[in-house]
Structures are given as C-alpha cells and as structure tokens.
Amino acid sequence: MKKLLALLLALVMVLALAACGGSGSEPAGDADQTVMEMPSTPEPRDLEPIAPADLKIGMVCIGDDNSGYDVAHLTGLRSACETLGVPAENIIYKYNTPETEMAYDACVDCAEQGCQVIFTDSYGHQEHTLRAAQEYPDVTFFAMTGDQGLLEGLPNLKNAFNHTFESRYVSGVVAGMKLAEMIANGELTDANYDEDGNAKIGYVGAYPYAEVVSGYTAFYLGVRSIVENVVMDVQYTNSWFDQTGEGSAADALMSRGCCIISQHADSTGAPSAVQAAHEAGSNVYCVGYNIDMRSVAPDAALTSAANDWSVYYTFALQSLINGEDVNVDWSAGYAEGANKIFPLNEDIVAEGTAEKVAEVEAAIADGSLQVFDCSTFTVGGEHPTSFLAIDLDGDFNGDVGEAIVDGVFQESTLRSAPYFSLRIDGITELNAG
Amino acid sequence: MNHESLLHISKREGLVWWQAWLIRLASLLLGMVVSAAFIYTITKLNPVRVYAAMWDGAFGTTRRAWVTTRDAMMLLCIGVGLAPAFMMRFWNIGAEGQILMGGCATAAVLLYAGNAFPSWLLLLLGALVSVLAGALWGIVPAFFKARWNTNETLFTLMMNYIAIQITCFLVAKWENPKGSNSVGIINSRTQAGWFPSLFGQQYVMNVILVLAIAVLMFLYLRYTKQGYEISVVGESENTARYAGISVRRVLIRTMAISGAVCGFSGFIAVSGSGHTISVDTAGGRGFTAIIVAWMAKFNTFVMILIALLLVFLEKGAIQIASQFQLNDYASNVVEGIILFFLLGSEFFIQYDLRFRSHSHKKEVQA
C-alpha cells in the first residue's frame, strides 16, 4: 500500500510541479514594484563558550544508516565530534523523521533534553526547524541544505551547503574521459548518437529544483570539457529516494541510447539498473552520488560524486565551542576539502583519468577553473550575462543578488543553497514542464 | 463422532467479558515476551532496558506524553470515524482521502480568512468546512454503491488518490515560500485559527474534542435508532429491507457521518497539530485506524486503548532507534509480533480449543 501510494504521489508531483514550472520564464518587471534589497544578515549573537564534553547535539535525519544521503551527514557529524572531543553519547539521533510536524516534535524533544545545537538534514524539514527555532532562541538550529535562513533573519537558524556542483563537475570529467575512450574505440552505435552526431548521456534527477539543475549542469559541463559533441537527457523521479523509480528512470534513459548515466537522487536504483544492463551486454556506465556505487555496480560505476560534510560540522561545532556565532549561510568546496569524488574504478575508467582528475581538482581548488564559466555554455544560443539569484516575493523570478560577475556564474556565494536554475543548451529535461 | 481428529475447535459460549480481557492481556504479555526473546537473540540487548526506553520515548517527559496523546487522539478520531462504516460492513478504505480533504478545507479557511476573522470563528469555520469536505468524500462512493452497487473498497481507495492529487495541487498553489513545495507553517506569526492552549497545554483541545466525538459515536451506535439500522444493514441487507429500512438511505447517511468525522480529524491535524497541509498530513493513519476500529470491534472506548498502544509502539520505536541504534526494521518486528498476538487472541476468545485425549480434556489457552 505504501509503495503504491508513493508511486501515485510521485506521479502527482510531476503534474503539480509541471503545472507551476511553466511560470518560471515569465518576464519580471512591474513598474510599481518597490525597490527590493538583499536581506541583511542578522547581527552575530554573543555566545558563551561551551566545553566539548558539555556540548549536546540533536541530529534529526530524514532516513537512517541505510540511506546514503543520511550516512554522508552522520559520518560528517560523527567525525567532527571525534575531532573536537565531543563524546559520541552526546549526540541524540532522531532517525526516519518525516518532513511533517514530526520534525518539529523531534527538534523540540532534542531541545528539551538540553541540546544546545540541533541539526536537521533534509530540505523539507526546514519549516518545522524554523518553528522550533522561534520557540527556542537559545538553541542554535541548523537547517542543513535549507535556503530560508537568510530570508527569515532569525539569529539562531543557519543554513549550509557544500559546493556539490564542484564534485559533479569532476565526476563529469571522469565520465567525459570514458566517453572519449568509447568514441575513439568505436564502441558506440548509431543509437548512442542524436541526429546531429552528438553522443548521448543521461541523468536521473530527483526534482526540477535549482539544487538538481545546478548539479546536472555541472556534471554536463564536466563531460563537455572533454567531449565537445555531447547532449544529455534528464529524467526526473520526483522523489529523493525511490529505488524502483530511479532504476526505471535509468532504464528509460538507456533505452534512449544514453551510454553514461549519472544521478541526483539518493538510492542505489540507477547504478543497480546500469549494472544489470551492463551484465546483459549493454555498453553502459554510470556515475553515482553520495555512496561509493562500486558496491552495487562493480563493473559499471566509474566513480561517485560526494560531499564531505565533516568540514562544516567541524567548523560549526568548533565555533560554538569557542563561543563564536556562525554565519547564516555557509558554503565551501574543494578549496576547503568539503567536496570530493569517491575512488575511481581503476578497472574501467579511461587511461589517464586519475591524472586529469588531479589536474581539474587542483584547478578548482585554486580558483583557476570556474565550473560555471559563462563562456562555456549558452542559454537559448546566447552566453548569459545577468541572473538575479534571490527571489524575495515568491514569483519564481530573482529580485536581488546578481549572480553573474566577470563572466562567471557565482554559485552558492549569495546564499549557501544552490540557485543555478538556467536551462542551458545541450540538456533536455524529459519530464518537467 | 470425529474420534480421529486430535484437535477439536468449537465456538465458545458464555465467556464473561473480563475473561476475554484476561486472554487479551495474556496475549499482550506473551507478545512482549516473544519480542523480548527476539530482541535478545538478535541484538543481545537487555529487553527490559529496551522496553524501558520505549516507555521513556512515549511518556518520558511531559511534552512526550502530550505528543503521544495528541497522536493517539488523532488515530482515535479516525478510528471512530471508520466505526459506523465498518459496522455497516461498508469497507471504507478512504479515510486517508477524507482526512486530506478535511485538512485542505481547513487550510483554505486559515489561509484565505486568516486575517479577516477572529480565531474562534476561524476554528468554527474550519471545523465546519472540514466536516463538509470529509462528508462529501464519503458520500460519493456511498452514492455509487447505493445506486449502482459499485465496489466500495476500490472506490474509496481510488478516492484517496484524487484527494492526494487535489492536495498536491493546493500545496503547489499555496507554496510558501515559492519553490519549496510546501505550504509552510500557516499563520505562524498570528497563530490565527490554531487550537488555543488550554490549562497551559497545547493539545488539551485535541483531547476534549476527540473524546467528545468518541462518546457521542458510542451513544449513537449503541442507543439510537439510526445506530441500530446500521448494525441491521451490516448483518444482512435483506433483513433490513424486510424490516422496512431503506438500505440506500442508511448507506449514504452513514458514510456521510463516517467521512465527516474523518474530515474533522483533518481539521484537528491542521489546526490542532501540524499547522500546515501536505500529502503527509494523513501520513498513512487512515489505514492504521482500520486496525484500531477492527481490533476494538467498533467500541469507541476500547479504541482509546488500541490507539494508545499503536502510538506508544511508534514513539517507542523512535526512542530505541535513537538510544540503541535499533532501526525501523527492529521496531517493525516488535510491533508486528505484538499485533500478531493481539489479533491472534481474538481466535481464542471466539473459539474453544481442545486436544483430544482418552481420559480427560485439557484446555489450552493463549
């Protein structure tokens, strides 16, 4: 029953999102509109230092140790606590917390048990985190991957997001190297090319949100930095975690001729499907996310993009231990060690991949390579020159915050959560309005 | 003479009510013992500590006790709503949808009239529209059943999906902030249309309302003519017709009531608990409540116990996951074992089980 319900829900979401997705491209600009300004960040609070042994932490997760997404957060938090000398038993876990008032209950329960810090790890938790944050002003709440902290202006509500797009770009380079090798060896068939002679790759996305768009665009640009003639199809599942849905999305993409499949959804569905196809004789590979997908796709997974959340958890907890407030938004990438890819699958990656990856990672870390360099992509045939990132009035149009500076789309600088939502040429969304 | 069979099963007669409850209690304890054995063999944890943690998770602090109560009341309300339909042998699998429709209606009132009316009027309006919306969702399948004898199990189930679609549509329409795919906390600044705190507690009103409905439903089913008509239709439609009862009218009227109460629980979910609306507002409780209604044999007072037990198991599961890293699967097994024993006990209440032996008959109890 639950499965059927979930399936229908997913279907419904497609329709619902399709219904509202269309308004995104409407021109902005109302003459009477008042001039809007970037929301200002709240004043840093005066905090008392806390001894690591006294620091009590609440961790509200949407899943548990069976979900790669949660594992990334849990590992990050646990290793941060180890580094800082916070005893492991000081963490109160709330597993499998749905994005309902249960999340609020979980936050409040942690606060009542004396937690000074409470993390919620899913985007949809944030409205409930916010409600708890209003009630417990002395507790610092972290709505991880959330985006409302800046707009709400509560001093005790924080957001954080890694530069996942950097990991995706690097994993795209790995895929690109493989694709180049496949083309050179003449391994691709006609079905793997579109009518213009571009090689086809695919991407299983969760929702048509900026977070996903930013990620798949970075992956695609990574591939294209190696193989010029490539196009990508994106199939949405409208769920963050849907083993079956992600598997069938991957199957759909492969049947369209996509020869490398990447993903932004949390299960092992897509890599498992690609592994199965590989075993059945198809010449297909995949790039995973969050989990080292070699475990489920030993012959097909080239690598997997990953976040190292320990960097942020360490930073945030260290700050509170020192009695320093942290910024509302935090975002970091390769330069700070917050992003990585899982080890390459040496048996199947193209020759020279490791060297290329090292080179690209170094270039991203020192800033000489910008993932969203506007000269490398076009939107409707033109290189974009302006994009307002922050939507203040909820009309899907950015109102403030110019994101394109010096010809580069500056992702995650105006706020931590991704806002790159341009649909660039070369990528086709198969099932979004 | 069936002298070859080793086991003889016969319908029990004359079991006094407290004997039946003794059997139920025994089966609950036995279920807990088996669960304890399971916990110990798999995890080597002390089962007593695990049960203590479950108790702590459900009732350990005042707040936890209230959250447990709130959720039990919600489950109870839905169970009470289902009772008349099931008593009529009308398989209302559509509580989920009826809750959502009630919730949507309430959310609409809070969103559109939030600033226009005082809070008490909003509550009254919310209650009214939620009841109407739920009733409508109950009447539609009843009408088709009465008119064309459609299968109500499938019909009510499908009505759920329509309700989910409508909820999705409304969530997309009311999104706040836009793009978040959620409505956010409605009237979070003004708290307009929220249940007021009574006696310093947030959820007292939930308890009062639901208990009042439970009592009324008990009286309605047990002591009114309409309640009697429901049980006659449930026993045999032909008998009902012979007695001059309009089966169609009873069908539609009863489902209107059933849907209305389920819709009302949507009102409680939105105004009295979540303060938001999403497809998770019902959260499967429309199905869990079926267990509540059936296990209690439609006795609304017994439902209180069952609802409490189920919510206790749920809250306990959260706590043992947190404390002992025993995840969902472990607590699902515990819940499964306990429910299995409770449901199984009904067999021993209904039937007498005797092993054949030459000299004497030994009675076997659960």
Per-residue pLDDT tens over the stretch B117-169 = 888 888 999 999 999 999 999 999 999 988 898 888 899 999 999 999 899 88
Distances in whole angstroms, Cα of residue B50 to Cα of each of A65, A411, B35, B167: 20, 47, 10, 39
Instruction: Identify which of B282, B295, B332 has the alpha carbon closest to the alpha carbon of residue B74.
Output: B282
Q: Which residues of B touch A (CB under 8 A)?
A: 61, 63-64, 67, 160-161, 164-165, 168-169, 171-173, 175-182, 184-185, 188, 273-276, 278-281, 283-284, 287, 318, 321-322, 325, 327-328
Share of chain B above pLDDT 90, in %: 29
What is the chain A residue with the closest CA to B278? A100
Chain B residue nearest residue A59, CA to CA: B322
> CA end-to-end span of chain B, whole Å?
26
Give the residue-averaged pLDDT of B299-323: 86
Ranges of beta strands (E only) in A277-357 are: 285-289, 301-307, 329-332, 339-341
| Block residue for tokens 């109870």 | B76
Residues of B in contact with A19 (CB under 8 A): 169, 172
Question: Which candidate from A9, A105, A109 shows the least CB-CB separation from B164?
Answer: A9
Chain B residue whose CA is closest to A397: B178
Mean pLDDT of B86-99: 90
A124 with B181: Cβ contact below 8 A: yes
| Distance between start and end Cα atoms, chain A | 29
| Helices within B149-299 (DSSP H only) | 152-174, 204-223, 225-235, 237-242, 247-269, 285-295
The reported pLDDT for the residue numbered B300 is: 85
Q: What is the predicted pLDDT for the residue at A14?
A: 47
Give residue-wise pLDDT tens across range A282-327: 899 999 998 889 988 999 999 999 888 888 899 889 888 888 888 8
Token representation of residue B21: 């409850």
State whether A109 and B64 contact (CB < 8 Å). Answer: yes
Instruction: State how far residue A139 is from chain B, nearest Cα, in angstroms.
Output: 17
Quote the Cα angle for A134-A99-B202, to 5°: 50
- Beta carbons of B321 and A64 less than 8 Å apart: yes
Q: What is the pLDDT of residue A242?
A: 84
pLDDT of B162 reads: 93
- Nearest chain A Cα distance for residue B61, angstroms: 9
Q: How far apart are CA B7 and CA B233, in angstroms?
A: 36
A11 Cα distance to chain centroid: 22
What is the mean predicted confidence (pLDDT) over A177-195?
91
Instruction: Return the pLDDT at B118.
Output: 83
β-bridge mates for residue A234, sequence order: A203, A429
> A391 vs B61: CB contact, 8 Å cut-off?
no
Assess contact for A58 and A172: CB atoms under 8 A: no
Contact A98 B63 (CB under 8 A): no
Interface contact flag, A124 B322, Cβ < 8 Å:
no
- Across the interface, whether the CB atoms of B172 and A5 are under 8 A apart is answered no
Residue bearing the bigger pLDDT, B282 or A395 = B282
pLDDT (mean) for A132-140:
91
Angle at A397 between CA A393 and CA A398, to 5 degrees: 85
Interchain contact, B274 vs A108, CB within 8 Å:
no
Mean pLDDT for all residues in chain B: 85
Q: Which residue of B has its CA nearest to A3?
A: B284
For residue A159, pLDDT over 80 is answered with: yes
Mean pLDDT of all residues in B14-41? 85
β-bridge pairing A329-332 and A117-120: unpaired
Residue of A nearest to B277 (CA): A100
Nearest residue of B to residue A64, measured between CA atoms:
B327
The C-alpha atoms of residue A187 and residue A178 are separated, in whole angstroms, by: 11
> Do A394 and B179 make contact, defined as CB atoms within 8 angstroms?
yes
Contacting B with CB below 8 Å, chain A residues are 1-2, 5, 8-9, 12-13, 15-17, 19-20, 64-66, 92-96, 98-101, 105-106, 108-109, 112, 123-124, 127-128, 130-131, 134, 148, 151, 207, 209-210, 391, 394-396
User: Using a CB-CB distance cutoff of 8 angstroms, which residues of chain A are in contact with residue B168?
Assistant: 9, 12-13, 15-16
> What residues of chain B lie within 8 A of the CB of A8, using their CB?
161, 164
Task: State the pLDDT at residue A176.
Answer: 94
Of B200, B172, B170, the closest CA to residue B110 belongs to B170
pLDDT at A394: 60
CB spacing of A8 vs B161 below 8 angstroms: yes
The secondary structure of A227-250 as a DSSP string is -SSEEEEEEE-SSS--HHHHHHHH
Asked if this assembly's ipTM is beyond 0.90, the reply is no
Q: Would the pLDDT of A258 be above 90?
A: yes
Q: Is the pLDDT of residue A125 over 80?
A: yes
Contacts of B178 in chain A (CB under 8 A): 391, 394-396
C-alpha distances (whole Å) from A392 to each of A20, A397, A399, B115, B281 are 17, 9, 6, 22, 27
Query: What pLDDT does residue A38 have?
Result: 66
Band (pLDDT 50/70/90 cuts) for residue A331 is confident
Of the candidates A131, A104, A225, the one whose C-alpha atom is nearest the C-alpha of residue A174 is A225
What pLDDT, on the 0 to 100 scale, is given for residue A181? 93
Contact between chains at B328 and A207 (C-beta distance less than 8 A): no
Tell which of A105, A131, A134, A213 to mutate to test the B interface (max B CBs under 10 Å): A105
Span A232-236, average pLDDT = 94
Maximum C-alpha span of chain B: 81
- Domains belonging to chain A, first-starting first, are 52-162 (3.40.50.2300), 164-305+341-429 (3.40.50.2300)
Nearest chain A CA: its distance from B22 CA (Å): 34
Beta strands in A316-399, from DSSP E residues, in sequence order: 329-332, 339-341, 388-390
Q: How near does any CA of chain A get to the CA of B155, in Å?
A: 15
CA distance A250 to chain B (A): 25
Our CA-based measurement puts residue A297 at a distance from the nearest CA of chain B, in whole angstroms, of: 25
Whether A394 and B176 lie within 8 Å, measured CB to CB: yes
User: Inter-chain contact B181–A17, Cβ cutoff 8 Å?
Assistant: yes
- State which H helix or E strand residue B96 sits in: helix B95-112
Among candidates B64, B175, B188 on the partner chain, residue whose Cβ is nearest the Cβ of A131: B188
Mean pLDDT of the region A23-48 = 56
Q: Report the gap between the CA of B87 and the closest CA in chain A (Å).
A: 23
Q: What is the pLDDT of residue B366?
A: 43
Q: Do B284 and A9 touch (CB under 8 A)?
A: no
d(CA B208, nearest CA chain A) in Å: 21
Q: Which of A41-45, A361-365, A394-398, B205-209 has the lowest mean pLDDT?
A: A394-398
Comparing CB atoms, the residue among B176, B178, B188 nearest residue A396 is B178
Q: Which residue of A has its CA nearest to B327?
A: A64
pLDDT at A23: 39
